[in-house]
């Protein structure tokens, strides 16, 4: 994808941010699955890792749905679909807020999980901001064209 094309298209910018976020979330999920198989974790941490993997899986699903909807052929995304996309990405962000709960405060596992979660949460937050910006631009454009 050329940077010049992305810079001139808020939709393409939002799609690209979603794509990067989805790929990073998938990579993080695979990494966490590997970490969860390490022996020697306390039962509480094993349970927390299972919860975290489930939340990441939910996030992947929400991000996939969002990207699919934004990538449908045609230039317009309906207001309802845009609202769904905003809700799904917001939900993916919320999932990440609860990921480090359940780990002991001084746990090495919690430190690793927190670092991976923070990276994915930042990307998700950025994608959501770009999606919201695109949605706002659409509303302004539509009201401009309907006022004439």
In the chain, where the domains are located: 11-147
Q: Which CATH class is domain 11-147?
A: mainly alpha
pTM: 0.83
Q: Report percent pLDDT > 70 for the chain.
A: 81
4 pLDDT higher than 70: no
Q: Closest Cα partner for 24 from 49, 71, 56?
A: 56
105 or 54, higher pLDDT: 54
The predicted-structure confidence for 85-138, as pLDDT tens digits, reads as follows 999 999 888 766 666 667 777 778 888 888 888 999 999 999 999 999 998 886
Other beta carbons within 10 angstroms of residue 77's beta carbon come to 21
Read off the pLDDT of each residue in 69-83 and give the average, rounded to a whole number: 80
> Residue 43 has what pLDDT?
84
64 or 115, higher pLDDT: 64
Angstrom distance (rounded) from CA 126 to CA 145: 29
Sign, Cα dihedral of 21, 23, 26, 32: negative
Spatial neighbors of 98 by CB under 8 A, at least 6 apart, are 55
Token digits for 47? Answer: 């349970």
127 or 144, higher pLDDT: 127
Helices 79-97 and 43-70 meet at what angle, rounded to 10? Answer: 160
Q: Closest Cα partner for 138 from 89, 77, 80, 86?
A: 77
- The number of CA neighbours under 13 Å toward the Cβ of 3 is 0
């Amino acid at each position: 994808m050329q940077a010049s094309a992305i810079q001139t298209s808020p939709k393409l910018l939002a799609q690209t941010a979603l794509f990067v976020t989805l790929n990073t979330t998938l990579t993080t999920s695979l990494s966490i699955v590997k970490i969860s198989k390490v022996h020697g974790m306390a039962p509480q941490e094993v349970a927390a890792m299972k919860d975290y993997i489930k939340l990441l899986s939910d996030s992947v699903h929400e991000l996939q749905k969002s990207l699919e909807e934004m990538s449908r052929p045609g230039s317009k995304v309906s207001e309802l679909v845009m609202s769904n996309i905003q809700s799904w990405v917001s939900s993916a962000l919320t999932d990440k807020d609860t990921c480090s709960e359940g780990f002991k405060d001084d746990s090495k596992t919690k430190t690793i999980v927190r670092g991976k979660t923070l990276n994915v949460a930042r990307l998700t937050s950025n994608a959501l901001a770009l999606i919201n910006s695109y949605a706002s631009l659409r509303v302004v454009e539509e009201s401009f064209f309907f006022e004439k």
